[in-house]
Amino acid sequence: MANPTTLPAWKALQAHYDEIHNTHLRDLFAADPSRGTSLTAEAAGIYLDYSKNRITAKTIELLTQLANEANLRARIEAMFTGEKINVTENRAVLHTALRAPKNTEVTVDGHNVIPDVHAVLDNMEAFCVRVRSGQWLGHTGKRIKNIVNIGIGGSDLGPVMAYEALKHYSDRTLTFRFISNVDGTDVAEALIDLDPAETLCIVSSKTFTTIETMTNAASARAWLLKGLTDPSAVAKHFVAVSTNAAEVTKFGIDTANMFGFWDWVGGRYSMDSAIGLSSMLAIGPDNFRAMLQGFREMDEHFRTAPFDKNLPAILGLLGLWYSNFFHAATAAVLPYEQYLKRFPAYLQQLTMESNGKYVNLQGEKVNYDTGVIYWGEPGTNGQHSFYQMIHQGTRLIPCDFIAFANSLNPNGRHQDILIANVLAQAEALAFGKTKAEVEADGTKGWLAPHRVFEGNRPSNFLMADRLDPQSLGKLVALYEHAVFTQGIIWNIDSFDQWGVELGKVLANRIVPELESGAEPDLRHDSSTNNLIRRYRSAKRT
């Protein structure tokens, strides 16, 4: 693929941007009263209103032309059919196979992976049934009441996000904890009030070599053995989710209690693989399969719908429009659903680890911005903190609002007030309040500008019926494919993460220097050497 900035559609988009970037949403809406219904798309029960974007029908036409010129359709097929599109690691990218129906065939190196996917799912199901029904007992014969997932990155963020998102559907007799940070406080606080005899630890790590996870897992095992003393207890209280059977065995977990996945599942794309074991334990196998069905519906839509009706493509292309033409540095994701409180954090890894790359597929430095920085909080909390800047700051911050028509906890006026707020925010951002309106309200002179809202602040509005396993699957797949769309056009490898390696290597070098009894021979820069010395002399244990 070429440098996207040399494509005819990119050049046409630049010219189009020059023409329309100052056009106000007020004028766009006034010129076309049907805009609020025409610039919308719907698929799999998810409604996307993208009319409050700084676009015209021509923008969508040019953006879809860009997708075509970048061969997006062929690249989607390449992903779905198991081509090794993660070129720097020579791997297929097949998270879509994790939710493919049993009768599908997807081959990697001549091997159909779908039966393997379903075999693991069936194993997970059998295990979850045993734990949830009380057939799986701890070492002392007690029922498992606590589930602790130990993992980091994709082996943590997906499980935590899904647990929080689907808490309403979870077995409330079980307690769930998630340990990720290597900070000893994380493991200490997670285990502080748990009885080891009633606790099951899931060590989730694709590689089973990640220092944070292995350190936390070792501490959790020590905690368990302090309580239960007999080393054979580990077999009843530890299971593993990994691709690395050898390391799992070395840790002391029987591979009979290991749930596998494959190198073609990226960490940040793994919440619907065995990495979702904690999710399945929480919500049960049927709900987990319903979530997979949701993913699948969005996959089918992405694979088949024309780009101008394709939710992930539209979302991805609009993100690119703001990143590369308006030079917006960040985008806010604002779920008006309390259960989605960890969704923005989940999306951060998805988008930033995938598309935060300055080198293209050919290994050349790119001359355009890549990656969208996502951030956000559930509404209405953000309104009383950072929305000020979205409304009146000097930076353009496009927003994705996510709302559901039905609350899972209906209670009097709560839902109407919540939805009124999200609608109001999108409206206020787009249309603002003019000086004339401010003055008409009685504020004159130098005070008036403080109360003016310029408006013209773009947003997408996603709405679905209610948050459930299926709609969560659809939402996650929607963003996965939006990120994919952007990565294809940016001509980068969205599926590697070399940028995390250097820090890991350096940390491994520094650990023994911190632990050394004698003054170590420090060979870092003067700042790092000084900080190491300072830490060594200040630390007490």
Active-site residue list = 353, 384, 504
Q: Which is nearer to ligand F6P, 358 or 498 (CB)?
A: 498
Q: Which H helix or E strand runs over 148? A: strand 146-150
- Minimum CB separation from ligand F6P for residue 451, in Å? 45
| Cα 159 versus chain centre, distance | 11
The H helix count followed by the E strand count for the chain is: 23, 13
Q: What percent helix, strand, coil does the chain show, rounded to 5? A: 55, 15, 30
Choose between 158 and 458: whose C-beta lies nearer to ligand F6P.
158
> In the complex, what is the shortest distance from the CB of residue 344 to ligand F6P, in angstroms, rounded to a whole number?
17
CB of 474 to ligand F6P, least distance (A): 22
Q: How is residue 276 annotated by DSSP?
A: G
Size of the site for ligand F6P (CB under 6 A): 14
Q: What is the DSSP string of 98-111?
A: GGS-TT---EETTE
Report the nearest approach of ligand F6P to the CB of residue 108 (Å): 19
- Residue 385's SS3 state is coil
- Name the token pair of 404: 């559901």
Find the part of the chain contacting ligand F6P (CB under 6 A) among 38-46, 85-93, 205-213, 473-481.
205-213
Which region among 153-161, 229-237, 438-446, 517-525 touches ligand F6P (by CB under 6 A)? 153-161
Residue nearest to ligand F6P (CB): 267
Closest CA to 259 of 273, 246, 269: 273
Pick the closer one to ligand F6P by CB: 52 or 206. Answer: 206
- Rounded to a whole number of angstroms, the minimum distance from the CB of residue 283 to ligand F6P is 22
Q: Which of 74, 188, 246, 500 binds ligand F6P (CB under 6 A)?
A: 500
Nearest-angstrom CA–CA distance, 340 and 163: 10
The piece of 58-66, 81-89, 151-159, 391-399 that touches ligand F6P (CB under 6 A) is: 151-159
Which helix (H) or strand (E) element contains residue 400? strand 399-406
Is there binding between residue 153 and ligand F6P (CB under 6 A)?
A: yes
Best CA proximity match to 205, nearest among 149, 282, 124? 149
Identified binder of ligand F6P from the candidate list 146, 155, 170, 425, rule CB under 6 A = 155
According to the binding rule CB under 6 A, does residue 207 interact with ligand F6P? yes
DSSP symbol at 305: S
Please identify which residue in 205, 351, 354, 459 interacts with ligand F6P, judged by CB under 6 A: 205
Whether the CB-CB separation of 55 and 321 falls below 8 Å is answered with: yes
Answer for which of 314, 374, 497, 513 binds ligand F6P (CB under 6 A) is 497
- Cβ 165 vs Cβ 467: under 8 Å: yes
Instruction: Scan residues 258-297 and list those touching ligand F6P (CB under 6 A).
Output: 267-268
Angle made by CA atoms 381, 383, 384, in degrees to the nearest 5? 75
Nearer to ligand F6P, 504 or 509 (CB): 504
Query: Is residue 354 at the binding interface for ligand F6P, with CB under 6 A as the rule?
Result: no
Closest approach of ligand F6P to the CB of residue 86, in Å: 12
Rule CB under 6 A: choose which of 51, 53, 59, 213 binds ligand F6P: 213
Q: Provide CB contacts within 8 A for 474, sequence distance 6+.
A: 44, 45, 46, 294, 295, 297, 298, 464
Task: Report phi then psi at 375, rounded to 5.
Answer: -155, 165
Grouping H, G, I as helix, E, B as strand and the rest as coil, residue 447 is helix
The nearer residue to ligand F6P, 147 or 275, going by C-beta atoms, is 275
Min separation Cβ 226 and ligand F6P, Å: 25
Among residues 305, 332, 444, 468, the alpha carbon closest in space to that of 395 is found at 332
When the beta carbons of 138 and 153 are compared against ligand F6P, the nearer one is 153
Cβ at position 499, least distance to ligand F6P in Å: 9
Site string for ligand F6P, 301-340 (x = CB under 6 A): ----------------------------------------
For residue 211, the surrounding DSSP H or E stretch is helix 211-228
Helices 285-304 & 469-490, crossing angle to 10 degrees? 40
By CB under 6 A, name the binding residues for ligand F6P: 152-155, 205-207, 210, 213, 267-268, 353, 497, 500
